[in-house]
């Protein structure tokens, strides 16, 4: 057995012990090659359960957090998902293995270009990308049954709640502190929005606006 294969098995077993029970989510993390998404300098840590730095001061999330947030979205193979914060593309690739269609927004064009190359290499055809302001969501494609935000917001963006369909779930880290935030699941019901705190997390901040290149 290869060293990477053994690490991958150890990681998946650790996720199970940590409370990841959705077999489709576990299968997605097993099938998505995390080594494709990490910075080459951290390749030896690709299958460790830890967040790692990527370009533009961003991070690739810890596999447990990716699995936990994906499970919290309650996805099926018919779900239409919006992701805010493409980053390395790892979370989007995992979503694409579980949901029907994934729309992902990133404010850094360089990050999106790199992520798109990875999606093409993996032949992920149910992923749609946009460079833009994540606070605004993707109104042309709304409503969404599930929305995931992979950066911490000081408050929940109104636009994202508005783009949530009936029965839809929004999973987002909320908090002003750069140290720790609370992961919250919002659910749209007939009575209105229901809020459910999940666990403490650490994410980079969700910054409004699109990054303009110097050349542009």
Candidates 25, 35, 65, 71; CA nearest to 49 is 65
CATH for 3-201 (3.40.50.150, 2.60.40.10, 3.40.50.10240, 3.40.50.2300): 3.40.50.150
Which positions are annotated as active-site residues? Answer: 61
Do the strands 181-189 and 164-174 form a parallel or antiparallel pair, or are they unpaired? antiparallel
**What does pTM read for this prediction?**
0.93
Domain ranges of the chain: 3-201
pLDDT at 23 over 80: yes
Q: What is the largest CA-CA distance in the chain?
A: 53
User: Rounded to an integer, what distance in angstroms lies between the CA atom of residue 138 and that of residue 146?
Assistant: 13
Q: What is the pLDDT of residues 30-80, one digit of tens each?
A: 999 999 999 999 999 999 999 999 987 888 999 999 999 999 999 999 999
Tokens of 183: 């992961």
Cα separation, 162 vs 97, in Å, equals: 26
The helix/strand/coil state of 171 is strand
Neighbour-count burial for 126-158, b at 16+ CB within 10 Å, e otherwise: ebebbbbbbbbbbeeebbbbbbbbbbbbeebbe
pLDDT of residue 66: 97
139-149 pLDDT, tens per residue? 999 999 999 99
């Amino acid at each position: 057995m290869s060293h990477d294969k053994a690490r991958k098995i150890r990681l998946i077993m650790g996720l199970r012990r940590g409370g990841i029970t959705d077999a489709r989510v576990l299968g997605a993390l097993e099938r998505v090659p995390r080594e494709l998404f990490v910075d080459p300098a951290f390749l030896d840590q690709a299958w460790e359960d830890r967040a790692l730095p990527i370009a533009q001061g961003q991070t690739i999330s810890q596999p447990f957090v990716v699995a936990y947030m994906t499970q919290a979205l309650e996805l099926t193979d018919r779900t239409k998902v919006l992701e805010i914060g493409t980053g390395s593309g790892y979370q989007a690739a995992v979503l694409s293995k579980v949901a029907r269609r994934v729309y992902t927004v990133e404010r850094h064009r360089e990050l999106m270009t790199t992520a798109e190359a990875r999606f093409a290499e993996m032949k992920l055809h149910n992923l749609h990308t946009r460079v833009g302001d994540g606070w605004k969501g993707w109104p042309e494609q709304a409503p969404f049954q599930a929305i995931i935000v992979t950066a911490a917001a000081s408050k929940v963006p109104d636009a994202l709640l508005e783009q949530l369909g009936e029965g839809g779930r929004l999973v987002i880290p909320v908090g002003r502190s750069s140290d720790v935030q609370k992961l919250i699941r919002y659910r749209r019901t007939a009575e209105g929005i229901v809020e459910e705190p999940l666990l403490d997390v650490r994410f980079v901040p969700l910054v409004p606006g699109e990054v303009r290149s110097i050349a542009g």
